[in-house]
Structure 1
Amino acid sequence: MWLMALSVPLLPAIVMLYSRYRVKVATLCQRALAWALRLTRGRVCVKSTHAFVFTNCTHGKVDSVLETFDLYAQTHSTLCIGPEIREVLDEAVRRVRPLRVLELGTHCAYSSVRLLRLLPPAGRLITVELDPVTADLGEEIILVSGFKHSQFQVLTCSSAEAIPRLRSLLGPDAGTSEGFNLVLMDHDPQQYLPDLLALEREQLLCPSGCSVLLIKRNQGADDLRGILDHIRGRTECYSIKTELQCVMEIFYRK
C-alpha cells in the first residue's frame, strides 16, 4: 500500500518520460528480443551442426571435416555454410596469404577450419565468440580437424572486450608487429562499424594492407550503412574490393 502511495506523485513524470522516449524504449526492447532470439537459434543450429560433423567426419582429417560440413548443409538449412562463403574465404586467403587472421563470430567453426587449413605453418587464427557454449563446441571442431592450440585461440567474450586485448595476444615477434592481414566479421552487424573503428584505434589492421570480410546474413541495407559511409569517407585508406550477396570485402591500407 505504501508503495502505491509513493508512486502516485511520480505518475506525471513517468507518463512524460514514456511519451518522450517510448519510441527509443520500444526500439531497445525489439533489439534485445532479436538478440536473444539470434543467440537461442544460433546455439541450437551450432549444436546440431556440431553433433553431425563430430559423429560423421574422420577425426584429424581437415578435408573430411569440411566435406562433412558440406554434407550437413545439403540436408539442413544453415547460414554458416555455403558455396559462396567457401569460395570467397578460400580466394581471399590464397590471395592475401595472411600470417595473422582475426575472426569475429566463431559459430560452428566452419569458417575457422577453412581459414586455418590455408594458413602457413607460422600462421595463427584468433577467433572471438560471445556465447560460451558455441565457443566450446567450435573449439572442439577445430581440434577434431587436426589443428593445435599453438595455431589458434578462441576468446569467449564480446568483440568489444576482445579487441583491446589482441595486441598482447599476438606476441612480441616481428612477424606480428603489424597486426592482422585478414579480418572476418561474422557476428552482430551493428558491431561491424564500432569494431572496425576499434581495430583502427588499436592499430591492429596491418598498415601495408589488410582485407576485411563482412558477412551479410539477411540484414537490411541500414545495418551496413554506417560502415559503408565510413569507408566512402576515407578513400585514402579504404576501398571496396568485392561485393556479393552474402559477403563484402573491403581493403585497408594506411
Structure 2
Amino acid sequence: MVSAAIALAFLPFLLTLLLRYRHYLLLLYWAVLLGWLRDRLSGVPREQRAFQFLLAHAVPGDPRHVLQTFDRWSQQREHLSCVGPVKGRIVERLLAERAPLWLLELGTYCGYTTVLLAQGMPPGARLYTVEVNPEHAAVAEKVLRLAGIDEQRVQLVVGTPEAVIPRLRQQHRVPQVDFVFMAHWKSCYLRDLRLLESHQLLPAGATVLADNVLCPGAPHFLQYARSCGRFRCRLHRASLEYFDAIPDGIAELRYTGTA
C-alpha cells in the first residue's frame, strides 16, 4: 500500500518529465536504438545503407542532388548525424562571404558537409577533411566521387585531429587554414582549437565553425572562445539536424590573433 502511494505521488512528476523531454526520447529511439537494431539485423552499417540509397536515387555528378538525397534518407529512413539543410544554409552563406582558399574539416563522417563545402568553395580552393574512423572515411570517399568531387579539390585524411593537425604544414603543405568546420567529438573541440592556435595555423580573420554546440553541446569550447580574447564569437541558433523541436546552433568564431 505504501509503495503504491509513493508511486502515485511520483506519477505527475514522471509524466512531466516525459512530456518535457519527449523529443529527446524520440531522438534516442530514432538515432540510436533503431539504427543499432538495424545494424545488428542486417549486418550492414547504417552509413553503408545510406550510401546504397544514394547510389539508387542521387544524380551522379550533382553535389546538390546528393545532399538532397542524403536529407531524404535522414528524414524518411534512418537518422545520420550530418549538418542537415537548415544549418547547412548557414554554413553555405558564411562560406560564400569569406571565400576561403584553405579549408579544414574535422569529422568527415559520411561526407555530407564535405560535399557542401566543396561545392561552395571558390576556384582554386582546397579542402582537407579528417576522419578517425576508416569505415566512415571509405563511405565518404565514395560519396565524394558520386558527387563528382575529385582529389584535386578535397583530400581526405584518415586519422585523429590530434595527430593530423601538427602535420598539416609539413606533411600536407598547408600554410594556414582560412576556414575550419568542426563536427567531430564535441569534447575534442577545445583541444583541437588550441592545437590550431599553438601550431599557428589560423591567420587573422580565419573563421572557425563548430556544429552541435548546444546539442549535445560544447560548453568548455564556447567558454574558451568567448573569454580568451582572441576570437569574436557569434552563435547561430537553429534546430538539431532533422529534429525541428530540439534547439541547436553553430558557433562562428573569427580569429583576431590578439589577446
Q: What range is the shorter-chain TM-score in?
A: 0.7 to 0.9
Question: d(CA) in 1 for partners of 2:235 and 2:108?
Answer: 22
- Structure-2-length-normalised TM-score: 0.73
Trace 1:73-112 onto structure 2 (pairs within 5 A): 73-76=74-77, 77-112=79-114
Question: d(CA) in 2 for partners of 1:61 and 1:229?
Answer: 39
1:49 maps to a residue whose letter is A
The count of residues paired between Structure 1 and Structure 2 equals 208
Trace 1:132-171 onto structure 2 (pairs within 5 A): 132-171=134-173
Is it true that 1:201 corresponds to 2:198 in the alignment? yes
1:136 maps to a residue whose letter is A
* 8 Å CA contact 1:69, 1:81 repeated in 2: no
* 8 Å CA contact 1:109, 1:142 repeated in 2: yes
1:82 maps to a residue whose letter is G
In structure 2, the residue matched to 1:47 is 48
* 8 Å CA contact 2:235, 2:249 repeated in 1: no
- Seq. identity, %: 28
Is it true that 1:180 corresponds to 2:182 in the alignment? no
Give CA deviations for 1:32-53 in whole Å, capped at 9, x if unaligned. Answer: xxxxx99x96993322221211
In structure 1, the residue matched to 2:3 is none
Displacement of 1:200 in angstroms is 0.3
In structure 2, the residue matched to 1:119 is 121
Question: d(CA) in 1 for partners of 2:190 and 2:117?
Answer: 23
Change (3 A) 1:87 1:44: same
In structure 1, the residue matched to 2:20 is none
SS of the residue aligned with 2:155?
Answer: strand
Question: d(CA) in 1 for partners of 2:232 and 2:185?
Answer: 22
Question: d(CA) in 1 for partners of 2:45 and 2:57?
Answer: 19
Question: d(CA) in 1 for partners of 2:165 and 2:63?
Answer: 28
SS of the residue aligned with 1:240?
Answer: strand
Displacement of 1:229 in angstroms is 2.5
Trace 1:9-24 onto structure 2 (pairs within 5 A): none
Q: Which has the larger radius of gyration?
A: 1
2:232 maps to a residue whose letter is S
Structure 2: tracts of 5 or more residues without a match: 1-31, 238-247
**Which of 195, 202, 210 is matched with 2:206 structurally?**
210
In structure 2, the residue matched to 1:234 is 228
SS of the residue aligned with 1:246?
Answer: strand
Question: d(CA) in 1 for partners of 2:53 and 2:84?
Answer: 16
Structure 1 segments of 4 or more deviating over 4 A?
A: 40-43, 217-221
- Structure-1-length-normalised TM-score: 0.75
Displacement of 1:210 in angstroms is 1.2
Change (3 A) 1:229 1:44: same
Displacement of 1:197 in angstroms is 0.5
1:112 maps to a residue whose letter is T
* 8 Å CA contact 2:107, 2:132 repeated in 1: yes
For the aligned residue pairs, the C-alpha RMSD in angstroms reads 2.3
